[in-house]
Amino acid sequence: MSQPTAGAASSAASVLFNLPDHEVLEATRDDDGARTVVIAATASEAACPDCGALSSRVHQRTRQRLADVSFDGHVEVAWIKKRCKCTEALCARKSFTEHTDQVPPRARLTTGLKDAILDAVASEVRAIDRVANQFGLSWPTVQRLVDQAAAALAAWRRTRPRLVRRLGIDEHRFRSVR
């Protein structure tokens, strides 16, 4: 029987969960059929968010549960996240946790799941609680995502250039129909 290599595990995380730069450490199924996949980032160094110094000194590892887009039933994703020590002596931040583009700091949902939720709310005429039930999330979580997206859209609309202020009837042709 062949054993998977590190490259195969890395591509499995990338293909299954759209999480590049991660590797699958473990995948299990319990007696009830619930599946759990444990992933970890492949990067050996992380940059301090305050000073930008690279650090490979791991202070501790924590296990963070992530919600991701389900496929063939619910899958729980657990991320073994590193907390690194900042190596810069003058930096006020002593430690920081790693993050990626797909899982920003303090996020419990992947960006893929957020995009799928917003797409489901925007493209279909369904109540938010139905969308929340579909993705296995609570109503306040989905409502918070919708509120954040609406606020970002409103801010974009306020800052975009307004090319036309009013569009109306051509004034010099008023009442002179030919």
Reported as half-sphere exposure (CB side, CA atoms, 13 A), residue 118 has a value of: 16
- pLDDT tens figures, 102-117: 888 888 888 888 999 9
**Are 79 and 64 contacting, i.e. CB atoms less than 8 angstroms apart?**
yes
pLDDT digits (tens, 9 = 90+) for 123-136: 887 889 999 998 88
Q: How confident is the model at residue 139 (pLDDT cuts 50, 70, 90)?
A: very high
User: How confident is the model at residue 3, as a pLDDT?
Assistant: 46
d(CA 77, CA 35): 9
pLDDT tens digits, residue range 152-171? Answer: 988 888 887 777 777 666 55
Most confidently modeled range among 12-16, 18-22, 50-54: 50-54
Does residue 75 contact residue 32 with C-beta atoms inside 8 Å? Answer: no
Average pLDDT value for residue range 83-111: 86
The confidence band for 12, taking pLDDT boundaries of 50, 70 and 90, is low
Comparing 162 with 11, the larger pLDDT belongs to: 162
Q: Which of the pair, 174 or 166, is modelled with greater confidence?
A: 166
CATH 1.10.10: which residues of the chain? 109-161
Give the pLDDT score at 9: 46
Q: What is the pLDDT of residue 178?
A: 58
Cα–Cα distance measured from residue 139 to residue 108, given in angstroms and rounded to the nearest whole number: 15
Q: What is the DSSP letter of 175?
A: T
Q: In this structure, which CATH number among 1.10.10, 2.40.128, 1.10.357, 1.10.3470 belongs to the domain 109-161?
A: 1.10.10
| Cα–Cα separations (whole angstroms), residue 89 to 51, 92, 94, 95 | 10, 8, 9, 12
CB atoms within 10 A of CB 143: 15
Q: Which amino acid is at 99?
A: H
